[in-house]
Amino acid sequence: MCRKWLFLILLILTACSTVKIPVEPQAKIDANNHLRFALQMENNRDFSSARESYIFLTENYRSFADIKGMLACLSGLARIELENNNEKAYLQYKNQMAEIIQNTAPELAYYLLLLELYNYQRENNYSAISQKAISKIDYPAEVNLKLAIDKLQADSYLAIAEEKQVKELINLAKKMEKQQKKAKYNDPELLSSAWYALAYYYYRTADYETANFYADKAQDWDYRFGNFRGMAHCLWLKAQIAAAENNIPAAKRYWKKAEGIFSSLQDNVAREELNTTMQKMLKE
């Protein structure tokens, strides 16, 4: 009798409760979480682990026809091949992306644009970045933010950045920060990149106080979310700002901290470029 009552109570509770209809399958949620982890591994230059994850996830996303997920993974694989100086493998992944976009989702062509911009950044081809990093109204907000970041940094280096660009990026970053704090958006690295771009612009225009303000924001954000490579670049920029202000002790402190992070990440290219830049600045 008692068991019947318990069963009846269970039926009543089940009837009274509402079944939450999922917005997307658990497989996609799990894949997206894994993708974020893979991106972090790539950013920390653990290319072997990141590559394994991207290959696994490409097939995972293919199993439920998630084209964006597949393109994100193929982009990651292409970037890794660029870092490994494997031009042939890079082009193979890039061609795969182009074929998928042409056959299934022409509106996602911006994935190829972002990959090209990444390659231009490695080559320090700021003129090409300035010309190609153009936002479009039909692009997603985060893509337009990335394009605005890349263009401002390139234009700042070329000394052609306009105040309009700066105001636009500040507004976009503020909106993104609100969404991030409300957990409505999950790309902290993109937000810190926006602050870094602003810091770099103000450094190039000799507004060192504002440059330090945004560099501090970017560094703090990178530290909180474990983006240590980004943090090293913030310290590198702060070293340049301090050197420009003739604060040599501070410049050396930031320099050595950045050097330590690059060394631990085995990013010898960045470490050597950092040392060359700072040695030249502190001799002048």
Contact 185, 174 (CB under 8 A): no
The enclosing H or E element of 149 equals helix 141-157
pLDDT number for residue 8: 43
- Specify the pLDDT at position 40: 86
Q: Which CATH class is domain 27-123?
A: mainly alpha
Confidence of residue 13 (pLDDT cuts 50, 70, 90): very low
Q: Cα(280)–Cα(212) distance, rounded to whole angstroms?
A: 21
- Positive or negative, the CA dihedral 70, 75, 81, 86 is positive
Q: Is the pLDDT of residue 217 over 80?
A: yes
Residues 217 and 212: their CA atoms lie apart, in Å, by 9
pLDDT on residue 174:
87
Pairwise CA distance, residues 23 & 95, whole Å: 32
Which residues, at least 6 apart from 158, have a Cβ–Cβ distance to it below 8 Å?
126, 127, 130
Instruction: Give percent of the chain above pLDDT 70.
Output: 91
Q: Which residue in the block uniquely carries the two structure tokens 């050097």?
A: 259
Q: What is the pLDDT of residue 175?
A: 85
Average pLDDT over residues 217-237: 94
Please classify residue 153 by burial: count the beta carbons closer than 10 Å to its beta carbon, then call 0-12 exposed, 13-18 middle and 19+ buried: buried
For residue 183, the model assigns a pLDDT of: 58
Q: What is the mean pLDDT of residues 103-131?
A: 96
160-188 pLDDT, tens digit each: 999 999 999 999 888 888 877 665 556 78
Check whether 14 has a pLDDT greater than 80: no
Domain with CATH 1.25.40 in the chain: 27-123
The pLDDT-based confidence of 7 (bands split at 50, 70, 90) is very low
Q: What is the mean pLDDT of residues 196-201?
A: 97
Average pLDDT over residues 191-206: 96
Q: What is the mean pLDDT of residues 195-205?
A: 97
Give yes or no for residue 5 having a pLDDT over 70.
Answer: no
pTM: predicted TM-score of the whole model, two decimal places: 0.86
